[in-house]
Amino acid sequence: MIRVGAHVDSTDPLPAAAAIDADAAQIFVGDPQAWKTPATTYPDGPEALKEAAAADDVALYVHAPYVINVASPNNRIRIPSRKLLAGTVKAATAIGAAGVIVHGGHVTAGTDDAEGVGNWRKALEALDLTCPVLIENTAGGNHSMARTPDALARLWDTVAPFGVGFCLDTCHAWAGGIPLPEGVDLLRSITGRIDVVHANDSVGALDSGR
């Protein structure tokens, strides 16, 4: 079964999903631009949301905060990122989410990309994967872990044994220089899977980085 949905308000996601006849819904479990501890905003609590989603047969996905960058060589970013990702996985597990979608992150100029890949390995080694983690490809940056096919292949060689999944964002792929639709087969040949698709248009040209 292929489920189709959209990102909806996290306070009351199921009526929002029903209004567009969706059987999947993506939500945040906290402020996507902050380092605050994730917390479900559903008024009756996470267990109630889990039960209601199951009753409505809606698959919930959680998008991790955008500030997370577990690949970073900067301790002040990398360590809080690991903690926030772990908290997001925990919160997603509590609502019975089908997956946590997180950006692949990047290293800074002058840092070997291999360091970022190694940081991903360390993050996953310490993470209790009670809910699947789905790494999303990204649009820009010359040192991104999941922008180009070559970068994604380096990352996947390390993260695949941990059972992580893949989220394909069509805008990010196009902006990152991966032509569509033929690039889908290329990405699948690298990751072996596509668990979720963010079907987004793009304002920029191919390889614009926007």
CA distances from 111 to 51, 76, 107, 185 (A): 45, 16, 6, 30
- Closest by CA to 69, choosing from 163, 160, 146, is 146
Contact at 8 Å (CB) between 58 and 17? yes
pLDDT by residue, tens only, the chain of 210 residues = 899 999 999 999 999 999 999 999 999 998 999 999 998 889 999 999 999 999 999 999 999 999 999 999 999 999 999 999 999 999 999 999 999 999 999 999 999 999 999 999 999 999 999 999 999 999 988 899 999 999 999 999 999 999 999 999 999 999 999 999 999 999 999 999 999 999 999 999 999 999
Contact at 8 Å (CB) between 61 and 53? no
DSSP secondary structure letter of residue 160: G
Q: 189 CB contacts (<8 Å, ≥6 apart)? A: none
CA angle 47, 100, 198 (to 5 degrees): 120
